[in-house]
Structure 1
Amino acid sequence: MGNAALRDIAVIEEIPFSAVEGVVAVDAHNWLYRYLTTTVKWTASETYTTPDGTEVANLIGIVQGLPKFFENDVVPVMVFDGGPSELKEEEIESRREQRRSYEEQLEVAREEGDEVAVARLESRTQRLTPTIQETSRELLRLLDVPVVEAPAEGEAQAAHMVRRGDADYVGSEDYDALLFGAPLTLRQLTSKGDPELMDLDATLAKHDLTLEQLIDAAILIGTDFNPGVNGIGPKTALSAIEEHGDIWGVLEARGEHVEYADRVRQLFRDPNVTDDYAFDTDLDPDLSAAREYVVDEWGVDAGEVERGFERIEESVAQTGLDRWT
């Protein structure tokens, strides 16, 4: 998800987690999906599957992923997607078709007893089911992690929250956070090492661009909401915008057309976001209730989550809850 080609344009540097302070507005679907697929790939399915066949690998992912925030004095606020833009329907359908292809390959791998291929393909066929959505929100509530419901793209809402000063960073793997105007974005929050910091102002300054011109360049390359112009990559897009000023000048000069370019442009420049949210950064997780919910109510193997709960407990106990104030 997101325009990976933007990495060639963005100013990104690795920073120690100890340098991160404050509140991170996390693109929850993006964060959850990465932990979900990793958990499914490397964990035996019986540890997160209920007797009736319901899979809740997300609960393991959440318990294993949250300690990184707690241990580094960082408050995560999980921002969940609302309804997708109709402009994204083609991208969504493409992902569905890819998932169906993986599901067919998965059946063949199971029939052949290829355990390596099964593990790989099971991770690739994951989706955020209604049960995963519901149980994720409930576990986050028990752990006192704030949740914000976006009206549309969670990434856009997170960027809006940072611009308003209600958060310090967006947390997302998608480079499109730049296009939604996220001043500072933390990437690799689901990785073992330190995060990457993506800086919007530094990116614009490096290429002598306005945000609007960066959006135009991205549309020429291609986004989740539109295919790009054939033959235009990051370097070509930047030089073309420099020469012609905006996307309309580039398209006219090249005799090209991008369907719905004006609507995609507007979606990034004026996304559907809300100011109707509130959250407390003084966190007080109910670990006993969270353990009971994950292990007793949903039957997740206690051994898969105990270390995660211990890390959260140790982190909170280390300096007391005042650290979250």
Structure 2
Amino acid sequence: MGNADLRAVAVIEDVSFEELAGSVVAVDAHNWLYRYLTTTVKFTNESVYTTQSNEEVANLIGLVQGLPKFFEADVTPVMVFDGGVTDLKSDEVERRREQRERAEEKQQAAEDAGEPVEAARLEARTQRLTETIHETTRGLLDRLDVPYIEAPAEGEAQCAHMAAIGDADYAGSEDYDTMTFGSPRTLRQLTSKGNPELMDLQATLEKHDIAYEQLVDVALLMGTDFNEGVSGYGPKTAVKAVKAHGDIWAVMEAEDVYVENADRVRELFFDPPVTDDYDLDLDIDPDMQAAREYVTDTWEVPAGEVERGFERIEESLVQTGLDDWT
């Protein structure tokens, strides 16, 4: 999820959802969905989201619980799904896999010890986006007419690109690397109960009196999803070093440090694999009956688990004046 040290560098402020009314947000779908998926698993009996054929679709409950927040604020989400994983991210992917495996072992131990609450907490940490979750997420988005696109590689890079060229007003991601991919304005905490946070690229550059390229170099020194960073280089030290020497190459030479794959990671941030080959229809016209049937009939989720979410979506259509929605 990027290096959280970047938070201490970035200019971040709270904004209300009311301030976002009428805007379009390119949402890092894997990032957003995973948070609702894990929350659902943590607090819901698995029998509720497990079909008779033993397929788990907790994501459908999460989607119905999470999407109303956008509709009620008159915000249009465009869900952006990851494509292939960049090879530079292989170490990060392996680290997350090992974390899941450790959580699975602890979960089994908690179950054996008769500790259901702890077992549920640990099960939430073992979740991954299966083929069924991918299929059913897109299936429900289709019926709700929520636009989505497939990124060539990193979803947060595609979100940043869409915000940069004006196809979205904001990128939406918990990943701090979204800003180093060049997103002018990034919304975080979209899945929290409180207000989202706005991470502002230009304000960040002005605060530290640095260029965008130098911000990327600061991130490389601290570490990103694509490189380890240098021990001892936190936010203050990294900014000071880059400002003193100009760029990452001069820092490495002057301070006798080394950032592995610095040239490749830099290039990835400056010119990531993204696409403009999409056609966004933002006139959302959901088929609520089809959405309900898909969740409750096709995928066997009890209606009581999702009805309030569907009602909130319907109510939001009236509140925002979009009475041509069905």
TM-score, normalization: structure 2? Answer: 0.97
Alpha-carbon distance in 1 for matches of 2:323, 2:178: 31
2:2 aligns with 2
2:215 aligns with 214
After TM superposition, give the deviation of residue 8 of structure 1 in Å: 0.2
State the percentage of identical aligned residues.
Answer: 68
1:57 aligns with 58
Secondary structure of 1:79's counterpart equals strand
2:19 aligns with 19
Correspondence list, 1:129-208, <5 A: 129-208=130-209
Alpha-carbon distance in 2 for matches of 1:221, 1:33: 25
Contact 2:317–2:323 (8 Å) recurs in 1? no
AA aligned to 2:289 is S
Contact 2:161–2:274 (8 Å) recurs in 1? yes
* CA displacement 1:36-77 (0-9 Å, x = unmatched): 011111111111111222111000000000001101111000
Contact 2:288–2:310 (8 Å) recurs in 1? yes
1:68 aligns with 69
Correspondence list, 1:1-325, <5 A: 1-21=1-21, 22-321=23-322
The change in CA–CA distance for 1:323 and 1:271 in structure 2 (over 3 A counts) is farther
AA aligned to 1:247 is I
Unpaired stretches in structure 1, ≥5 consecutive residues: none
Secondary structure of 2:112's counterpart equals helix
AA aligned to 2:243 is E
AA aligned to 1:254 is E
The change in CA–CA distance for 1:239 and 1:323 in structure 2 (over 3 A counts) is farther
Alpha-carbon distance in 2 for matches of 1:90, 1:30: 18
Alpha-carbon distance in 1 for matches of 2:212, 2:35: 28
The change in CA–CA distance for 1:102 and 1:319 in structure 2 (over 3 A counts) is closer
* CA displacement 1:204-229 (0-9 Å, x = unmatched): 10001111100000000000001010
Secondary structure of 2:233's counterpart equals coil
Alpha-carbon distance in 1 for matches of 2:265, 2:157: 13
Secondary structure of 1:251's counterpart equals helix
AA aligned to 2:3 is N
Contact 2:26–2:171 (8 Å) recurs in 1? yes
Q: Following superposition, which runs of at least 4 residues in structure 1 exceed 2 angstroms of deviation?
A: 317-324
Alpha-carbon distance in 1 for matches of 2:178, 2:323: 31
Contact 1:145–1:283 (8 Å) recurs in 2? yes
Contact 2:285–2:324 (8 Å) recurs in 1? no
Contact 2:26–2:168 (8 Å) recurs in 1? yes
Unpaired stretches in structure 2, ≥5 consecutive residues: none
After TM superposition, give the deviation of residue 321 of structure 1 in Å: 2.4
| Superposed CA RMSD | 1.2
The change in CA–CA distance for 1:52 and 1:323 in structure 2 (over 3 A counts) is closer
Contact 2:72–2:320 (8 Å) recurs in 1? no
* CA displacement 1:91-141 (0-9 Å, x = unmatched): 101111111111111111111111121111010000001110111011011
AA aligned to 1:88 is K
Secondary structure of 1:226's counterpart equals coil
After TM superposition, give the deviation of residue 322 of structure 1 in Å: 6.2
TM-score, normalization: structure 1? Answer: 0.98
AA aligned to 1:287 is M
Contact 2:74–2:320 (8 Å) recurs in 1? no
Contact 1:73–1:323 (8 Å) recurs in 2? no
